[in-house]
Amino acid sequence: MKLVHIRKRFILVVLCTILLTLFFAPIYSDHLVIGLWDSLWNNETARIDIDNKGNISNEVEVTPLQVSEKTEITYPSWCKKEDGSCAVVNANIDDKWQDFAVEVKVVNSGKITIYFRGPDVRTAENIRYPVLVDYRFSGVDKKELLKGRKTFWHDNPFIYSFEAKDGQKIEVKFQARKHHFRFSDLQNVYHMNWLLFISVLVISFLLSYKLIQYISKFKLLEHNSRIDIVFVAVFFVLLFVPMSHISSAEKSMQENRILATYPKLFNKVLNLEYGKQFETWFNDRFFGRNIAIDLYSFLKMNINHIYINADALWIKDNNWMYREWYIKQKEFDKNKADEIIKQTNLFSTFCRENNIKMYMLIVPSKESIYTRFLPKEYKKVVERNQFNHYINSLISSFDVSAVFPYKELHQASYKDFIFFKQSHHWTDWGAYNGYLALMDVIKKDYPKLHISTLDEYNISTSKLLREDWDRDYDIGQTTGLLRIDKDYAYKKILKDEYKYYNHKNEIKPIITDNDSRKEKYFKNPQQADAPRVFLTGTSMNEDFLQFLPYSFSETKYYRLNSGKMTEVEMYKLLKRFKKDILDYKPDILILCVTTWNLQLFVNLTKD
Amino acid sequence: MLFSSMTFIYMFLPLVCTVYLLARKELKNYILLIASIIFYAWGEPSYLAIMILTILVNYIGANYISRSHNKTHRKWLLALTILANLSVLFYFKYFNFMVENVNALFHADINFIKVIMPIGISFYTFQALSYVVDVYRGDTPAQRDIYKLALYICLFPQLIAGPIVKYHDVAEQIENRNVTFEKVSYGIKRFIIGLSKKMLIANTLGAVADKIFSQPVEQFDCFTAWIGAVAYSFQLFYDFSGYSDMAIGLGSIFGFKFLENFNYPYISRSITEFWRRWHISLSTWFKEYLYIPLGGNRVAKWRNYLNLFIVFLATGFWHGAAWNFIFWGLWHGMFIIFEKATGWHKKEGRFIGLLQHIYCILAFVIGWVMFRADTMSYAWQYIKNMFGLIKTHEVVYLLPYYVDNIEIIAFCAAFLCAMPIFGRILQIPYKYKVCRTLVNIWLIVLFVVSTSFIAASTYNPFIYFRF
């Protein structure tokens, strides 16, 4: 064999050994490859968190003093806690040292804590890993804190704390750059186990040697085209990629569900469902799953006029997004309708027996209000099904004061957005119109009730959507469902300004939020004589709560769809809330749901 | 396990390939046999027993046949083995259909059996029959090694959806075959082409057909009905031929050479030609093991027509236990007999050639409507709609609901690839390096895109939760 062949083969073996050793890095280290890769090449952010702790109203106001275009300051919602809040400074760094300076204004006296750290970067399983940032010459109010080069990451920050007074201004200066590799990182940060590393290296070398020897036989024996050798190699590499790393995440945030767990082959006896369960497990967790699904979404999004994914559709011409479920809604079969009426009336009887006035607000679908923006092939379906007329006739059989404000919302939809274009949720304006329609009915029973007017509200605008539990700004539920990239949504889709209404005397609710319960409790001293309300329903209530609590003395809201419940369990209202209702003893019970949810009312009083 | 699943492509295949390609020659058959058993047992392990039973029956039957020198004895043994094979097939596939018809015809009340048809039973039963008949005819010696017979019957590349490999075509390869780089490379390319046909064309057009066929016929117009019928025709072809391509490709990776199963059937000018190009392994199976034993065409004309009638009745019945499959078979049989009787399909000329094409397309597209429809009455209404014979339409969904740009691209690709334009794409000589490279890159792109389509099917958001 020629020397040149041997040399080539040796280079290939070395390359293959390196690749295999890196591939098996999780065996001998803790996020070594991904962490170092991000630290040395990918990362462009140094992060400083500035905390003001003392009480709930403690805050900090941060303004950049230097290299301002490279400094981004945010006040994320997770920062707001019962003992104060914080600001996050993201400084844009590169390979060379750069100076950054910000001024911190203290709002309410408290303990200021500054964290010099790296960015919060996580794996697909939501596990944070070390992305390093180099710091030097950090100083607070001319006091030098760091001498020489120091390296920090998110979970291992440099922390500096001191007491500060209300209105005090503090100057924070620092120099930062991308991390430059140091051998000690391997041990200190990535917890390298050298014995295991050597073992993996040796095994990788042996494996590579055998593999290259085997592959080279093909070349030598058959004189095949190099093009085909590369092709076969690429194919086999691709085959191994998805199983190279199996996600251990418990749930998928994007899909909003628990991921399948690894099945047992034997459960005393052979598990005959093992194959199917294994497939579900692998389908949920293979490496590169999100990238592959995003590629599919990207193709469909860019080729089709209407992009459809998982029941959601986006009409690219006008940026309206709809849900196929709502488009195709048609009347329930008679048995189901009868059961819905029966169950609703049974629930109403329970309320009556406990001296509670029950009202129901049924939110029409966006698809029925904004049929005019649907393409004609879908518009015809909505018009044909006439689901609104059906709902009107259905609720007339309820033994409850039920409000279905289709006409009101439809009329109001010509003044401003009733629904967000990128979500199935209604806007504040939509919720306000729903509120007015409901209050019109309640006022007949309680004439002294105060109905809020828009003068009582401050109005702000944003292109982002505030629609769910925490009313954080986001790109919209339907945008997420369609798997549209956030940056793309910011640039191409979110072009309209939405109005947000915040009461001038805002009532801050007491919030309970855990796996089993989602509750908000509002106490309104300005309407101390007004009735007490027990409100339950779906996420439509989140914007609705901008208005309702200002008409009542107390409002206790229980979110229906919360926790890990099945749809059937969610709608067993009596079983879920009987105790809460009887303990709270409200004057009024309001059930606020969408037309789609009505079908689940067959379970209202079931055990 | 399906070829077009993440588990097969990205778990099963790489592991089996690695072990198989690195193993010593004498171990290769055993590795394939174990892989095939795992592949089959994956979805429904209980039905493995039926396959094992099939293997045992045919192993014993064929060995007795080969050892016996008494003609009558051999005939009885053959009949017994065939009967055993067909009984299993009948029980799982046709019993409930028979009960349903007997109940309807005689107002009887025979209970249905609760049974799910074992996957691939029609295919492996026919393969087993081919083996026993080949041994009986003396075309091939009986296989003394049960493991090799087991491998023939349950070889996973063609186990679930064919092609139906006849024993005499692969007997030698089971004994002795070479795995070469060329075969592996060709096999991968063929597999990718099959996967792309299935994922990118068949599934895309299948969604169009599903949407249309799920509507009552009055709710779409004549043009939409044709779109649905054509979409289904393409779906069926690309689904089935895609699966065959994957099977042939996998076979090639493991050193086998399976015969082609499709040869551009939609360019046929007659139904006779169509059946020479469509599901070739099944049509040749029926030809070799039914049509010729019945006398073939070396009999009186009426008998020949009867033989054709029987063959196509059996073809329809083989595809499924429902009347629409039987009618579909007879529909094709009718045209074959017509062509045999008139010789119309043999006439030549440019204009007549065009007419022959149109005739053939109409015949098989209408046939596919029967094949696709849930009931014959729906099929009949659908066909009437295609020809504008439905008087009152209440069109709900307009055409853009069914077809967007991706579907149009899939239609164009389906149309072009149904003709032998790209037939020699995998045989580009080595000297055309640029072309070869471009083809390889294109195949990798197809593979990645097909994977994204498979992955997208695993995207399963719990939509309700956030309402």
| Residues belonging to chain B | 467
| B195 CB within 8 Å of a chain A CB | no
For residues A22 and A198, what is the distance between their CA atoms, to the nearest angstrom? 12
The beta strands (E) that lie in A75-147 are given as 84-92, 98-107, 110-117, 133-140, 143-144
pLDDT digits (tens, 9 = 90+) for B112-131: 888 778 888 888 899 899 99
DSSP bridge pairs for A61? A105
| A chain contacts of residue B398, beta-carbon cutoff 8 Å | 376-377, 380
In the numeric block, which tokens belong to residue B230? Answer: 């054509």
Task: Give contacts of A 334-393 with B, CB under 8 A.
Answer: 375-378, 380-381, 384
| B chain contacts of residue A229, beta-carbon cutoff 8 Å | 181
Spell out a b/e string for A581-599, using b for 16 or more CB atoms within 10 Å of the CB, else e: beebebbbbbbbbbbbbbb
Positive or negative torsion for Cα A323, A324, A330, A334: negative
| A chain contacts of residue B433, beta-carbon cutoff 8 Å | 225, 227
Residue B12: C-alpha distances to residues A359, B42, B459 (Å): 57, 11, 21
- Residue B448, min C-alpha distance to chain A (Å): 8
Neighbouring C-alpha atoms within 13 Å toward the C-beta of A479: 24
Classify residue B107 as left (phi > 0), alpha (psi -120 to 50) or beta.
left
Q: What pLDDT, on the 0 to 100 scale, is given for residue B465?
A: 42
Mean pLDDT to the nearest integer, A530-548: 92
| A chain contacts of residue B25, beta-carbon cutoff 8 Å | none
Q: What pLDDT, on the 0 to 100 scale, is given for residue A329?
A: 84
Question: In chain A, which residue's Cα lies nearest the Cα of B437?
Answer: A227
Question: Cβ contact (<8 Å) for B436 and A306?
Answer: no
Task: Give contacts of A 575-594 with B, CB under 8 A.
Answer: 594
- Chain mean position to CA A209: 46
- DSSP secondary structure code for residue A153 in this structure: B
Regarding beta strands A59-66 and A84-92, do their DSSP bridges make them parallel or antiparallel, or are they unpaired? unpaired
Of B398, B399, B452, the CB nearest to A295: B452
Of A303, A378, A481, the CB nearest to B463: A481
For residues B199 and B209, what is the distance between their CA atoms, to the nearest angstrom? 15
Of A222, A274, A283, the CB nearest to B6: A283
Question: Cβ contact (<8 Å) for A228 and B406?
Answer: no
- Residue A73, min C-alpha distance to chain B (Å): 30
DSSP three-state, residue A458: strand
pLDDT digits (tens, 9 = 90+) for A420-471: 999 999 999 999 999 999 999 999 999 989 999 999 998 888 888 888 887 8
- DSSP secondary structure code for residue B139 in this structure: S
Q: What pLDDT, on the 0 to 100 scale, is given for residue B464?
A: 47
| A chain contacts of residue B465, beta-carbon cutoff 8 Å | 256-257, 561
In the numeric block, which tokens belong to residue A332? Answer: 């329930």
pLDDT at A218 over 70: no
Question: Cβ contact (<8 Å) for A230 and B463?
Answer: no
Q: What pLDDT, on the 0 to 100 scale, is given for residue A219?
A: 54
Of A224, A300, A481, the CB nearest to B406: A300
Instruction: Count A/B contacts: CB-CB distance under 8 Å.
Output: 175
Query: DSSP letter string over B221-290?
Result: -HHHHHHHHHHHHHHHHHHHHHHHHHHHHHHHHTT--PPP--S-GGG-SSHHHHHHHSSHHHHHHHIIII
| A chain contacts of residue B400, beta-carbon cutoff 8 Å | 305-306, 375-377
Spell out a b/e string for B54-67, using b for 16 or more CB atoms within 10 Å of the CB, else e: bbebbbebbbbbbe
- Residue A496, min C-alpha distance to chain B (Å): 23
| A528 CB within 8 Å of a chain B CB | no
User: What would you measure as the largest C-alpha separation in chain B, in angstroms?
Assistant: 76
DSSP three-state, residue B339: helix
Question: In chain A, which residue's Cα lies nearest the Cα of B38?
Answer: A275
| A chain contacts of residue B447, beta-carbon cutoff 8 Å | 235, 238
DSSP bridge pairs for A143? A140
pLDDT at A258 over 80: no
Of B14, B440, B459, the CB nearest to A236: B14
Per the CB < 8 A criterion, the answer to whether B466 and A255 are in contact is no
Per the CB < 8 A criterion, the answer to whether A179 and A95 are in contact is no
Classify residue B120 as left (phi > 0), alpha (psi -120 to 50) or beta.
left
Task: Give contacts of B 18-57 with A, CB under 8 A.
Answer: 22, 41-46
Regarding beta strands A110-117 and A158-164, do their DSSP bridges make them parallel or antiparallel, or are they unpaired? antiparallel
Nearest of A41, A67, A591 to residue A358 by alpha carbon: A591
- Residue B266, min C-alpha distance to chain A (Å): 28
Of B7, B14, B440, the CB nearest to A227: B440
| A chain contacts of residue B43, beta-carbon cutoff 8 Å | 275-276
Q: Which of A208, A224, A225, A272 to mutate to test the interface with B (most CBs of B within 10 A)?
A: A225
Question: In chain A, which residue's Cα lies nearest the Cα of B23?
Answer: A214
| A324 CB within 8 Å of a chain B CB | no
| Residues belonging to chain A | 607
Per the CB < 8 A criterion, the answer to whether A523 and A553 are in contact is yes
In the numeric block, which tokens belong to residue B291? Answer: 């049509």
| A321 CB within 8 Å of a chain B CB | no
pLDDT band (50, 70, 90) for residue A349:
very high
- Chain mean position to CA A461: 22
Q: Which of B13, B37, B434, B463 to mutate to test the interface with A (most CBs of A within 10 A)?
A: B463
Of B5, B184, B467, the CB nearest to A538: B467
For residues B97 and B110, what is the distance between their CA atoms, to the nearest angstrom? 12
| B300 CB within 8 Å of a chain A CB | no
Question: In chain B, which residue's Cα lies nearest the Cα of A281?
Answer: B7
Per the CB < 8 A criterion, the answer to whether A112 and A101 are in contact is no
Mean pLDDT to the nearest integer, A560-589: 86
Q: What pLDDT, on the 0 to 100 scale, is given for residue B467?
A: 36
- The amino acid at B198: K
Backbone angles phi and psi of B145, in degrees to 5:
-90, 110
Q: What pLDDT, on the 0 to 100 scale, is given for residue B319?
A: 87
Question: Cβ contact (<8 Å) for A483 and B459?
Answer: yes
Task: Indicate the range of A213-222, A290-299, A397-406 predicted with least confidence.
Answer: A213-222
**Residues of B assigned a catalytic role:** 319
Mean pLDDT across chain A? 86
DSSP three-state, residue A197: helix
- Residue A293, min C-alpha distance to chain B (Å): 5
Question: In chain A, which residue's Cα lies nearest the Cα of B187?
Answer: A232
| B178 CB within 8 Å of a chain A CB | no
For residues B334 and B338, what is the distance between their CA atoms, to the nearest angstrom? 6
Backbone angles phi and psi of B320, in degrees to 5:
175, 155
Of A235, A257, A274, the CB nearest to B462: A257
Per the CB < 8 A criterion, the answer to whether B282 and B374 are in contact is no
pLDDT band (50, 70, 90) for residue A32:
confident
In the numeric block, which tokens belong to residue B19? Answer: 């072990």
DSSP bridge pairs for A502? A458
For residues B408 and B28, what is the distance between their CA atoms, to the nearest angstrom? 44
Query: DSSP letter string over A248-311?
Result: --SEETTTTEEPPPPPPSEESEE-TTHHHHHHHHHHHH-TTHHHHHHHHHHHHHHH-SEEEETT
Per the CB < 8 A criterion, the answer to whether B158 and B169 are in contact is no
Residue tagged 């702000």 (tokens): A460
ipTM: 0.87
Positive or negative torsion for Cα A148, A149, A153, A155: negative
Task: Give contacts of B 358-417 with A, CB under 8 A.
Answer: 396-401, 404-406, 409
Question: In chain A, which residue's Cα lies nearest the Cα of B6?
Answer: A283
Q: What pLDDT, on the 0 to 100 scale, is given for residue A124?
A: 66
| A chain contacts of residue B9, beta-carbon cutoff 8 Å | 239
Non-local (6+) Cβ contacts of A526 within 8 A are A505, A550
Q: What pLDDT, on the 0 to 100 scale, is given for residue B81?
A: 92
Per the CB < 8 A criterion, the answer to whether A111 and A165 are in contact is no
Question: Cβ contact (<8 Å) for A306 and B404?
Answer: yes
For residues B40 and A86, what is the distance between their CA atoms, to the nearest angstrom? 59
pTM for the complete prediction? 0.74
**Residues A321-325: contacts with CB within 8 Å, 24+ apart?**
A321/A421, A321/A422, A321/A423, A321/A476, A321/A478, A321/A479, A321/A482, A322/A366, A322/A367, A322/A370, A322/A374, A322/A378, A322/A478, A323/A365, A323/A366, A323/A367, A323/A424, A323/A478, A325/A596, A325/B463
For residues B294 and A471, what is the distance between their CA atoms, to the nearest angstrom? 77
| A chain contacts of residue B188, beta-carbon cutoff 8 Å | 231-232, 235
| A259 CB within 8 Å of a chain B CB | no
Q: What is the pLDDT along chain B (467 residues), one digit of tens a residue?
A: 888 899 999 999 999 998 998 888 888 899 999 999 999 888 778 888 888 999 999 999 999 898 888 888 888 999 999 999 999 889 888 888 888 888 888 887 888 888 778 888 888 899 899 999 989 988 888 888 888 899 998 888 888 777 888 888 888 888 888 888 888 889 999 999 999 999 999 999 998 999 899 888 888 888 899 999 999 999 999 999 999 999 999 999 999 998 889 999 999 999 999 999 998 988 999 998 888 888 877 888 888 889 899 999 999 988 888 888 899 999 999 999 988 888 887 888 788 888 889 999 999 999 999 888 888 889 999 999 998 888 777 777 777 788 888 899 999 999 999 988 887 887 777 778 888 889 999 999 999 999 999 988 877 665 444 33
In the numeric block, which tokens belong to residue B116? Answer: 């799910």
* Sheet of A554-559, strands arranged across: A401-403, A357-363, A588-594, A532-537, A554-559, A518-523, A510-513
Q: What percent of chain A has pLDDT over 90?
A: 26
